[in-house]
Chains A and B, each alone.
Chain A
């Protein structure tokens, strides 16, 4: 499939950022910081070519990149910018070949934008696709894990240009080592891992998600009247409740923002109370103790008036919202996928049930 968009210019960045908050499921951090980094980078270094894997040679090196750590840290301790050069340098040295293209690890929040900034800065093309189709909080929650493609060697770089090359024995160890290192580095770090050749990357790639995010942003921006129906035309939207945030509890532990938000229904949903539990991303939605939606389906709080996504760290008392869910990419709905990113992977003892089935039940 050929993507509709093949060049990311400054004008596309706002749309991409809006699309990222919708697809993020609350996680990935505020794309604003990534948006400004990308703007600054594109102004200084030019636009970014958005390519398909088929545009590369089979053994070209593709490196998925992004930041890992707590979104609350990323909106304060913004990167230096040159971390991405160190990521490429360290992996090129270790793998003995030049990086041919960068790609996003996840299509959500800050990490949907950062690869654009870094591709521009390193004058590399970016692959139209990612490894999650949304955002998830842990590093083994990437599609290559399902295919036995290793996350290592991977590299972590901080703003002091310190680098850590991780050679782990499996993806869970990689996650553990990287997470511990990130804590030592002050809560977030810039990373490149799951380095793959273009041929290998074709297997796990969730294609054209960068284009999808830009299209979501453009649809909401150009919506005449109801932005929710404009959104629904680009991606099937399952609204769960219209309401108001009446409580939000957040704590940053072990490099994650964990907590819960409570939403009280308004208008036709008056009388309903729904609770969302999150770990960076929104994990499950409960009503009267029963699950309405759960990972891997995408659960996002959307502004009641604009339909723009609200990231976990921006949930505030009094906000008017529509809580909506979107279908997860198919890869995650397999038995293998659910083992990695289903509700149990996050410690919630519930059975996953696809959102379209839940929705048919409640509607």
Chain B
């Protein structure tokens, strides 16, 4: 049972800065801080705790909840680093061979993540019967062939949301052949749609190292500061996730940053419709606030060039941020995709380093005051062109998000928002709300708690409406049990997985409910 709600700390760990806010029970902002992100996660978060406690002048015992939003997982994928090498197994041959695993992945990401791919005979029909017998021998041979490279395993079997027998069998064999190795079974992570589920499953396995790093860092930072708060991470739909689930399903934290910044931007501006531009140190996420909520993607979501079937804010992400490196390429000035990230305070020109970044360009353009020395004028042309190009990339992405002709205001938030000029394009109102720099942390702090029911029902005894009611009630009860305010808990997602052809008709229903933390 979570402690009674009193003060809560929202933290946003970006590639460059770690922001913290502290809110009271009425969502009033009592303090905010910004500290550089450090390579060691604990140090950065710990420092954020120390400072926010000092700034807000509140006793640490009153902090009952800590909500962490982090772009660690997203950045790991965007920058192709800290990812585990994954043995990619699909069980489905002779079906599915016309589209091999990872076929649509960007080549560099695939090279970075894949420890080898195979389609093994097996998988299930919609009825739960096997397509063909699971070829366990071929599976063992493949596992042995990758045992020196594979750091994690992803298993995706055809129709596993209906019948996961072959995935479970595979899990047992992986333990037998490779011992303790992180493994993700696709049925635990996604719904019908083989390719998107497989992609999400592989990404999840690749991210398990990053997740351990973050969770361990958060737990030690909490201990180091003698806090007795319940800790959560925020996930893609803007709700909270326990640390246990983060370790198993790190891919669900992807998209939490944008969900947080958009909810934070709505909180700060009271706008219901806007394009929200969140510029961090490493990347810029642009999404549409529609009637007060992030517009969700209706099509499968693209993460670093990979399609998955999660519900997420519909975003355009580009590798432009305060720490983004500006270089002279053979075809002109290039912006990104690399970023110096948190090392901006040693690597950038204004801090005496030798890497030209967009922050240097912003200092030169007098949009930002930062650093210890002026920019060497030999970089002037490069930086001015780089900044102009970055601006163009951001405006382009904004028009991509904004699909209706009607003018909507732009809201710019995030530490890197100083890259943009005071005013936007001619016909656009650009808002830069107070506390714009900590919108993500605020969004994390106001995130809701959720509960989920995922259950197979027999149709016949109960009508579909009765089944839905039962599932909805179950999800709401779960959310309330997790700490959601009973009067404000609502259904946020309903999904029905049809399971036909069975003599006794059944349906699988997933319902998710969420609401703000209860005051009581």
A residues bordering B, Cβ < 8 Å? 30, 32-33, 36-37, 39-41, 70, 72-73, 75-81, 117, 159-161, 183, 186-187, 225-227, 248-253, 257, 303, 305-306, 308, 310, 313-314, 316-320
Contacts and interface: CB of A to CB of B under 8 A. Distances in A.
Given A250-B496, A252-B500, A310-B298, A305 B99 contact: no
A251 B505 contact: yes
Contacts, number: 126
Instruction: Pick the most buried of A76, A248, A306: most chain B CB atoms within 10 A of its CB.
Output: A76
Contacts of B299: 303, 308, 314
Contact of A77 (B159, B290, B298, B500): B159
Contact of A73 (B126, B298, B403, B493): B126
B298 A76 contact: no
Contacts of B104: 36, 39
B404 A77 contact: no
A50 B157 CA distance: 36
B309 to A, nearest CB: 10
A183 to B, nearest CB: 7
B95 A36 contact: no
A12 to B, nearest CB: 17
Interface in B60-111: 92-100, 103-104
B501 A252 contact: yes
B100 A40 contact: yes
A80 B97 CA distance: 5
| Chain B interface SS verdict (over half) | loop
A160 B99 contact: no
Contact of B500 (A30, A70, A314): A70
A250 B99 contact: no
A78 B98 contact: yes
Nearest to B507: A251
Contacts of B131: 77, 159-160, 186
Contacts of A252: 126, 498-501
Contacts of B100: 40
A318 B158 contact: no
A318 B494 CA distance: 9
Given A79-B95, A160-B94, A226-B405, A40 B494 contact: no
B125 interface: yes
Contacts of B295: 305, 320
B341 interface: no
Which bracket fits the contact residues of B?
35 or more
Contacts of A32: 195, 300
B192 A75 contact: yes
B305 interface: no
B165 to A, nearest CB: 15
Nearest to B491: A317
B194 interface: yes
Interface of B: 92-100, 103-104, 123, 125-127, 129, 131-132, 158-159, 192-195, 288, 290, 295-296, 298-300, 403-405, 464, 493-496, 498-501, 505, 507
Contacts of B405: 225-226
Contact of A303 (B192, B298, B493): B298
A75 B500 CA distance: 15
A36 B99 contact: yes
A167 B94 CA distance: 27
Contact of B98 (A80, A250, A317): A80
B500 A253 contact: yes
23 contacts: A33-B99, A33-B195, A40-B98, A70-B126, A75-B195, A76-B193, A77-B92, A77-B131, A77-B158, A78-B96, A78-B98, A78-B194, A160-B94, A160-B131, A183-B501, A187-B125, A226-B404, A249-B464, A251-B507, A305-B288, A305-B295, A317-B494, A320-B295
B98 A79 contact: yes
Contacts of B195: 32-33, 36, 75, 78
B95 A316 contact: no
A258 B125 CA distance: 20
A187 B500 CA distance: 9
A233 to B, nearest CB: 15
A13 to B, nearest CB: 12
A311 to B, nearest CB: 11
A76 B159 contact: yes
A36 B103 contact: yes
A72 B192 contact: yes
A257 B497 CA distance: 12
Contacts of A318: 296, 493
B501 to A, nearest CB: 7
Contacts of B94: 80, 159-161
A251 B193 contact: no
Nearest to A249: B464
A30 B192 CA distance: 12
Nearest to A319: B298
Nearest to A83: B98
Instruction: Pick the most buried of B99, B131, B300: most chain A CB atoms within 10 A of its CB.
Output: B99
B166 to A, nearest CB: 13
Contacts of A187: 125-126, 500-501
Contacts of A314: 298-299
A303 to B, nearest CB: 5
Nearest to A43: B103
B452 to A, nearest CB: 14
Contacts of B495: 316-317
Contacts of B192: 72, 75-76, 313
B125 A186 contact: yes
Contacts of B288: 305
A316 B496 CA distance: 9
Nearest to A251: B498
